[in-house]
Amino acid sequence: MSDIKVERNGGVQILRFNRPEKKNALTGAMYDALSDALEAGDRDREVAAHAFLGVGGVFTSGNDIGDFLQSSVGDQAVLKAVLRFIRLLPRVEKPMLAGVDGLAVGIGTTLLFHCDMVFASPAARFQTPFLDLGLVPEAGSSMLMPARMGYARAFEMLVLGAPMDAESMRAAGLLNAIIDADKIEARVLAAGMALAAKPPAALALARRLMRGDAEAVAQRVDEEAQIFARQLQSAEAREAFTAFVEKRAPDFKKLRTS
């Protein structure tokens, strides 16, 4: 079975992260499957909204770190798939929804700032540990997160890497509601079906007005991506990825030059 399961339910296209043995960590093939489905769904009259869901009590643990390690030693294939996906996010035309149970790490959290409605379980944990991996914020998060949740909270998440629970994210304005894990999918689908019943042209126009300048966000995605790609090759990032794969704590001290 594919690591991204694409299903349809009453006008809602479900994109399900489905790699439970690796906490739904995203590989290049998974990013491409997500991009293919978003593009196809946007073109398909039968689809009114996209919905991201996880499996096994996990949303996603973010980018596959083994893949990052490959990128850091020169393999460009995964980076290409990541870039395709994050460049697409601000340009998706139909509403995007998400239901988060458990961990939402890295892109698992930054993706949510492109979504129009987000529901989470009480067990949801949101974390963006880019800096601890020697990396920088991606997917427009350096712009969208301070704008949505305020600089102080965004800095705490994006630079300090502090995890946030569902209640904090609701207070920060990211969540529509906190729902018991076993009811999340039904709630996401109900929201998607309510959108499917709306006049489609007016829905698209209202969403475009509310989301603001998509090209400005896309431009920030590109700026971040250039720095991110450079940092991927850094000794700091390589140490962080290698430490994860070797199941040990990273040792950044040895990289100090002064």
- Contact residues: ligand COA, CB under 6 A: 22-23, 25, 61-66, 103, 105-106, 129-130, 133
CB of 66 or CB of 200, closer to ligand COA: 66
CB of 204 or CB of 243, closer to ligand COA: 243
Report, in Å, the least distance between residue 127 CB and ligand COA: 8
Report, in Å, the least distance between residue 115 CB and ligand COA: 18
d(C-alpha 50, C-alpha 226), whole Å? 28
Pairing of strands 12-17, 49-53: parallel
With 0-12 / 13-18 / 19 or more C-beta atoms within 10 angstroms meaning exposed / middle / buried, residue 22 is middle
CB of 49 or CB of 107, closer to ligand COA: 107
Beta pairing partners, 13: 8, 50
Residues whose CB falls within 8 Å of the CB of residue 253, separated by 6 or more in sequence, listed in order: none
CB of 35 or CB of 60, closer to ligand COA: 60
Report, in Å, the least distance between residue 243 CB and ligand COA: 11
Whether 230 and 79 have beta carbons less than 8 Å apart is answered as no
Report, in Å, the least distance between residue 59 CB and ligand COA: 10
CB of 52 or CB of 130, closer to ligand COA: 130
Report, in Å, the least distance between residue 222 CB and ligand COA: 18
Q: Is 162 helix (H, G, I), strand (E, B) or coil?
A: coil
Beta pairing partners, 97: 51, 117
Residue nearest to ligand COA (CB): 106
Residue 75, Cβ neighbours under 10 Å: how many?
14
Backbone φ and ψ for 45, nearest 5 degrees, come out as -65, -25
